[in-house]
Amino acid sequence: MADDLKIVGLLCNWCCYGGADTAGTARMQYSPNIRIIRVMCSGRINPSMIFKAFQDGADGVFVGGCHIGDCHYDAGNYKWSRRSKIVEDILEEFGIEKERFRHEWISASEGEKFQKTMEEFHNTLTKLGPLEL
Amino acid sequence: MSYVLAKSQNDDIHKAGECGGAVTSILKYLLDEEIVDGVLALSPQNDVYDATPTFITESDDLLSAAGSYHCAPTMIGDLVQKYLFDKKVAITVKPCDMRAVEELIIRHKINRDNIYLIGLNCGGTVSPVSGRKMIDLFYEADPDDVVSEEIDKGKFIIELADGSEEAVKIHDLEEEGYGRRNNCQRCDVKIPRKANIACGNWGAEDGWTFIEINDEKGQELIDGAKKAGILETKNPAQGAIDGREKVEGIMIKMAKKVQDATYPTVSEMDEWSRCISCYACRDVCPICWCFENCELNKPYFKDEQNIPPTPIAFQGVRLSHMSFSCVDCGQCDDVCPMDIPVSLIFDKLQKKYFNRTGYVAGVSDDIKPPLYSPEKTEL
């Protein structure tokens, strides 16, 4: 499974990070390419963080947040969901495939969904190959 | 919202103004009654190509600023934010100025209570350099002899010192690569409806200014100026209102055509590859207000060794900060030393954002752009 693809994962503290934890404690297998950065809320993620990740060599960026309605801070994930659209629009202008950027709502109990998402994302990126800016 | 035709009761102003002198009269009223500390308006310096924003505090100086200056495209919105934040000012605004002011109000950089916006309908502006060249090439006149210019009925009209006039169709000028600036050609906001009043000659009789009153503050302005005996008004005929609407409609249709033709042709990555990281586009942008704190100056993005900069980490960051609020004023095109069509790319993104959200920068009524609102909606 080891390859050089780098995935940067920005995971919300309350849900998706917990989901990753659940996947880990349950010893679910998924590709080890993801580098997880824990953030307090998906609503605190700026588009520039995604761009910085791509600039510094990430082949894909994953953002995980709470399900809509479950945000620990009430509406952070709504903000992120709108911001993500702008990120998609801008990435398109820079010739970065929109498949390299993915976001998903994963709760702390959904370890399996986290595992599945990581596998899928890794497969997509394998098909696309390394990102050349 | 209501319409009036207005003209100045003051003979000097009536003569100096482009069509009736209503704008100058209203400004004079505001200054004389000490409702505002000053007026920010374009005032010509050496010639008609050299009008600069001037802060006028004496109503006698207003006369020099009367008339239209299409060859001096300057952005007034950020001047208010930077230098006149704590003053009460009346500002003459073309639509992009108004949009910039609106966007800055949203960002709490301008206090709405402190300003009067006197809107000017705008069919487009011409860059001074290409304006001179164009007059040299297409008119039988020396650019230096031009004493005033105006745009009317699709023609760019110049007036010479001896009183003679010459007109050439803007369409013909633009076919040859002259005429209005590129961003003006695709601009689809021609009447500043967020200003207190919007003034212009579309639909107006000779010697009168057609005014659209947009809000209560605007109505107070007109009533006050009338009371002070400086403004005369009458109701426009239905024909005039229809005529004005028709002019606006045609202009917007033309703009949409230009948009459809130019948006798909721009190849961003080729354009960005010429960037020399001078930051001029950021510094001149009326919407970019956080100069010292700009994210591009932060150590994690500052990259002075790399020229051109990685596009995603320079233009990408700027796009994500403000492209949804781009008012398409074209200042960034004007200052770019490498002739990158910056505003075209930003404006294209704002249109994309509009298609998703329905938000038009500086025109929509949202208190915050959808990107920053706390509302619980997804796109």
B379 contact A CB<8A? yes
- Average confidence (pLDDT) over B35-46: 88
Q: Is B378 on the interface with A (CB under 8 A)?
A: yes
Give the H or E element holding residue A7. Answer: strand A7-12
The answer to whether A37 contacts chain B (CB < 8 Å) is: no
Q: Tell which wins on pLDDT, B220 or B48.
A: B220
Task: Pick from B137-141, B168-172, B348-352 the range whose average pLDDT is largest.
Answer: B348-352
Q: Which CATH superfamily is domain A2-128 in?
A: Lumazine/riboflavin synthase (3.40.50.960)
Instruction: Answer yes or no: is pLDDT of A1 > 50.
Output: no
**ipTM computed for the complex:** 0.89
Q: What is the pTM of this model?
A: 0.90
Q: How far is B342 from chain A (nearest CA, A)?
A: 13
Strand A34-39, strand A60-65: pairing: unpaired
What element of type H or E holds B44? strand B38-44
- CB pair distance less than 8 Å for B295 and A48: yes
B324/A contact by beta carbon, under 8 A: yes
Find the mean pLDDT for residues B129-158.
85
A89-98, A120-129, B154-163, B193-202: which range is least confident on average?
B154-163
Contacts of B320 in chain A (CB under 8 A): 46-48, 51, 86-87, 90
The pLDDT of residue A16: 94
Residues of chain B with CATH 3.10.450: 126-179
Cβ separation of A94 and B268 shorter than 8 Å? yes
In the prediction, which pLDDT does A78 show? 92
- For A93, the closest chain B residue by CA position comes to B268
* Chain B hits for A90, Cβ within 8 Å: 316, 319-320, 323, 349
Identify which has the larger pLDDT, A50 or B67: A50
What pLDDT score does B172 carry?
A: 85
Instruction: Give tens-digit pLDDT for B269-281.
Output: 888 999 998 889 9
pLDDT (0 to 100) of residue B213: 92
Q: Tell me the two tokens of residue B201.
A: 């000659």
* pLDDT tens per residue across span B57-116: 988 888 888 877 888 888 888 888 888 888 899 999 999 999 999 999 998 889 899 999
Q: Is A98 on the interface with B (CB under 8 A)?
A: no
Q: Mean of the pLDDT values across residues B200-228?
A: 88
Quote the pLDDT of residue B175.
85
Least Cα separation, residue B32 to chain A (angstroms): 48
Instruction: State chain B's mean pLDDT as an integer.
Output: 88
A91: confidence class by pLDDT, cuts 50, 70, 90: very high
For residue A2, pLDDT beyond 60: no
Q: Chain A within 8 Å of B319 (Cβ-Cβ)?
A: yes
Q: Which of B310, B356, B377 sits opposite A55 (nearest CB)?
A: B310
pLDDT tens digit string along A22-32? 999 999 999 88
Q: What is the pLDDT of residues A10-20, one digit of tens each?
A: 999 999 999 99
- Domain locations in chain A as residue ranges: 2-128
Judging contacts by C-beta atoms under 8 Å, the chain A residues touching residue B308 are none
Q: Do B317 and A93 touch (CB under 8 A)?
A: no
Q: What is the CATH code of the structural domain delimited by B126-179?
A: 3.10.450
Question: Would you say how long chain A is, in residues?
Answer: 133
Q: How far is A68 from chain B (nearest CA, A)?
A: 9
% pLDDT > 90, chain A: 77
**pLDDT over threshold 80, residue B126:** yes
Task: Determine whether the interchain pair B320/A47 forms a contact, defined as Cβ–Cβ distance below 8 Å.
Answer: yes
B65-68 long-range CB contacts below 8 Å, 24 or more apart?
Answer: B65/B24, B65/B39, B65/B41, B66/B13, B66/B16, B66/B17, B66/B18, B66/B21, B66/B23, B66/B24, B67/B16, B67/B17, B67/B18, B67/B148, B68/B18, B68/B120, B68/B148, B68/B149, B68/B150, B68/B151
pLDDT at B258 over 70: yes
